[in-house]
Amino acid sequence: MSAVVRRAIFSVALVVVLVASTFLPSPQTAEVQDGRFYPETNFSISSSKILDYVQSRGGVAQFGLPISREFILFGDRVQFFQRYVVQIRNGQPTLLNLLGPDLMPYTSINGAVLPGVDASMSAASPAVGSPDYATGIVDFVKQNAPNSFDDLPVNFGSTFFNTVKLEDAFPQGNGDAGLLPLMDLEMWGVPLSKPAYDPNNFNFVYQRFQRNIMHFDKTTGRTQGLLLAQYFKAIITGQNLPPDLEQQAKNSPFYRQYNNDMPLGLNRPDQLPNTNMKGAFEPESTPGSPAALPVSTGSPGSTSTLGTPTPTATPGAATPTPITAGPNCNFDGEMSFDPQFPQANNVVTITVTSPTAYNSVNLAGPGSPHFIGVGSGLRGYVWKWRVLVTESGLYNYDFFVNGSQMCVSGFFNSGGATPTPGPTATPTVGPTLTPTPTPPSPVIEFLQQGGVTITSAARGQFIMIVGRNFGANQATVNGVVIIGQANAGQANLWGDTSINVQIPSSAITGTQSVQVVSNGQNSNVFPLTIN
């Protein structure tokens, strides 16, 4: 991923990160079940961390309704709302800079003409990490987000500094009101333009910030943020995409990427490394009926005490047996497959382990996984399913708790079918055909870092895969590298005898393996310990 993309997606002022991580409400506030599902959009807020964060920053009145499930974007779990995209970064929720240069740097959306970035304003804003940054950046916003523009009460400044309420940020009381301006900054980012009229409609005035655009409507006197993430979703899915926005976004790696019939839910996965959109924008069911999810038949549950989980699978039923909801997902589980790289007609055992005793679980994915049982292991609780691999391709599975909270994801890449003996055909005399040669299978010989052979590496590090028959170019051979059961995405370098690739942050730690797929041929499985 380019440094620009990283800045656009992940950069947040240090002081804002500290505010977000230190003063989030207690996780206990996320235990309530009411208000998670929104029938207006048929999506839920299922992550306790995201729910806490949204509630502490003004709720759906500020964020808009949820318009996606949770999914993986560049290695981090995210969820779309109408105005914002929330991501879990380094264990803490934060917001994407939607108006960053590699996300939505656009100036025309659905007929509205928006101000672009004013380079002089960007240059004048205090630098992150500079002395007295917290005070300086708040003063900068006060100086550049006016309440009056051309005698109109646009209220951009008061809207900015009244975004987060004390009672929302600190529901248990004893909050420091002095932190609220920094939380407001977290929501909007710094101003990137002066206020400007829409040249096509002088009843509208806009001001551009890092994470949204303020919109004043003279006819109503109301000031609010645009439904910016809803338009970002339109770019990704191609649905309800305004023509002017489509014209600007055609060269974006996000443009019309979403395709739930494709592996990882992506039309061009090489452009979005470490991303899995499978099911991301598929509507959920109504509360209490998770059957609309692609759940497996025979979904297990448990109504036992912590020490003795007892499965309550219902084989053959499309809807899991309703039971009392248990702990919310802590994102502390792992998914593994045995065999790790199966062939067609193999039976695969899918294992999910977690130290948390979830008592209502199900597995969603192809092949109608058959629940085996639940027990205990070294890491805590263990749930197992079996599934028959019927054809080659990528098999993606999601582990849900409490009906709709997607908690763990994993996938494997199956090879070609295992030959099955059949009747010998009587040869027929005819023209001789020249067979198409089968490309040689790729072979991994060893792994390196800095020219030194390795047997272990950490998530996020780059490794060199050395061998033969990888192909000259990743795109032409449809090359894929699987590390620790995660797709490593676009390689930094791909040649016939070496591949330089980053270990995905979503890779499972411990004794894992590396495999290369080239021209539909699987390499040998090479061991690697991932830290």
CA distances in angstroms from 169 to 16, 29, 62, 139, 239, listed in the order given: 14, 12, 13, 22, 35
Is pLDDT of 318 > 70? no
Q: How confident is the model at residue 14 (pLDDT cuts 50, 70, 90)?
A: very low
Q: What is the dihedral of CA 357, 363, 364, 365, to 10 degrees?
A: 140
* pLDDT for position 326: 58
Question: Mind giving me the DSSP string for 340-389?
Answer: SSPPBT-EEEEEEEESS--SBEEEE-TT-PEEEEEEEETTEEEEEEEEE-
Is pLDDT of 227 > 80? yes
Question: Is there a common fold for 290-414 and 443-530?
Answer: yes
Residue 340 near residue 281, CB atoms below 8 Å: no
Q: Kindly state the average pLDDT of the residues 480-495.
A: 81
pLDDT tens digit sequence for 425-466: 343 343 444 444 567 888 888 888 777 778 888 888 888 898
Q: Mean pLDDT check: name the lowest of 73-82, 161-170, 401-410.
A: 401-410
**What is the maximal distance between C-alpha atoms in the chain?**
91
Q: Kindly state the average pLDDT of the residues 37-63.
A: 88
Instruction: Compute the chain's Rg from CA coordinates.
Output: 26
Provide the residue ranges of all domains of the chain, joining segments of one domain with +.
3-269, 290-414, 443-530
* pLDDT for position 438: 63
| Selection from 145, 114, 140 nearest residue 127 by Cα | 140
CA distance 142 to 126: 13
Peptide bond into 339 cis (omega under 30): yes
Q: What is the mean pLDDT of the chain?
A: 78
Q: How confident is the model at residue 356 (pLDDT cuts 50, 70, 90)?
A: confident
CA distance 377 to 333: 13
Q: How confident is the model at residue 266 (pLDDT cuts 50, 70, 90)?
A: very high
What's the N-to-C CA distance of the chain in angstroms? 21
* pLDDT for position 163: 93
| Selection from 332, 333, 363, 331 nearest residue 350 by Cα | 363
Q: Which residues fall within 8 angstroms of residue 45, CB to CB, at 6 or more apart?
A: 36, 38, 51, 54, 66, 79
* DSSP code for 75: T
pLDDT tens digit sequence for 163-198: 999 999 898 888 898 899 999 999 999 999 999 999
Task: For residue 60, give both structure tokens.
Answer: 């759906």
Domain 443-530: what homologous superfamily?
Immunoglobulins (2.60.40.10)
Check: pTM over 0.75? Answer yes or no: no
Domain 290-414: what homologous superfamily?
Immunoglobulins (2.60.40.10)
Is pLDDT of 414 > 90? no
Is pLDDT of 9 > 60? no
Q: How confident is the model at residue 421 (pLDDT cuts 50, 70, 90)?
A: very low
CA distances in angstroms from 469 to 218, 230, 393, 420, listed in the order given: 65, 44, 20, 27
* pLDDT for position 113: 93
What SS3 state is found at 292?
helix
219: alpha, beta or left? (left if phi > 0; alpha if psi -120 to 50): alpha
Is pLDDT of 289 > 50? no
Is pLDDT of 11 > 50? no
Q: Mean pLDDT check: name the lowest of 5-9, 90-94, 331-335.
A: 5-9
